[in-house]
A and B are shown apart, each in its own frame.
Chain A
Amino acid sequence: MAVKDTLRARWFWYSILCVVLWGPFMIASKLGSREIPAPTMQFLFTIGSLPILAGLVSVTRFRLEKNVRGIAYGTAAGILAGLGGVGLFAAYGTGGSTTVITAVSSLYPMVTVVLAVLILREHLTWVHVTGLVFAAVALILFSL
Chain B
Amino acid sequence: MHIAPWFWFTLVVLGFWGACGILQKLSTNHISAASALIWLVVGYILLLPLLYPGKVLFHYSMQNIIWGLLSGFLSTLGSCGLYAALKSGGKASIVVPISAMYPLVVVVLAPLLLHESITLVQGCGVACALVAVALLST
Contact = CB atoms under 8 A, between A and B. Distances in A.
Interface of A: 9-12, 14-32, 34-37, 39-53, 55-57, 59-60, 64-65, 67, 69-71, 73-88, 90-92, 94-116, 119-120, 127-128, 130-135, 137-139, 141-144
A42 B47 contact: yes
A21 B74 CA distance: 6
Nearest to B111: A99
A15 B95 contact: yes
Given A64-B38, A111-B14, A135-B129, 12 more contacts: A11-B84, A23-B106, A24-B109, A35-B61, A39-B51, A39-B53, A48-B70, A52-B77, A77-B39, A100-B122, A111-B18, A113-B136
Nearest to B24: A77
B7 A142 contact: yes
Interface string B90-110: 100011001111111111111
A19 B122 contact: no
B53 A43 contact: yes
B72 A46 contact: yes
Contacts of A114: 18
A25 B99 CA distance: 13
Contacts of A24: 70, 74, 105, 109
A20 B65 CA distance: 22
A36 B21 CA distance: 27
Nearest to A122: B25
Contacts of B56: 40
How would you classify the secondary structure of chain B's contact residues: helix, strand, loop or mixed? helix
Per CB-CB distance, the 4 closest pairs between chain A and chain B, nearest first, are A78-B43, A111-B18, A23-B105, A48-B72
Contacts of B95: 11, 14-15
Contacts of A98: 106, 110, 114, 116
Contacts of A102: 102-103, 106
Contact of B121 (A11, A36, A144): A144
Contacts of A12: 85, 90, 98
A79 B27 contact: no
A97 B119 CA distance: 10
A27 to B, nearest CB: 5
Given A99-B107, A104-B14, A115-B19, A128 B31 contact: no
Contact of B43 (A23, A43, A76): A76
Contact of B132 (A10, A28, A41, A131): A131
29 contacts: A15-B81, A17-B81, A22-B75, A23-B102, A31-B114, A35-B60, A36-B65, A47-B72, A48-B70, A49-B73, A50-B45, A50-B72, A53-B38, A60-B38, A71-B39, A74-B39, A78-B39, A78-B41, A78-B44, A78-B46, A81-B44, A84-B16, A96-B7, A100-B122, A107-B129, A108-B18, A114-B18, A130-B135, A143-B1
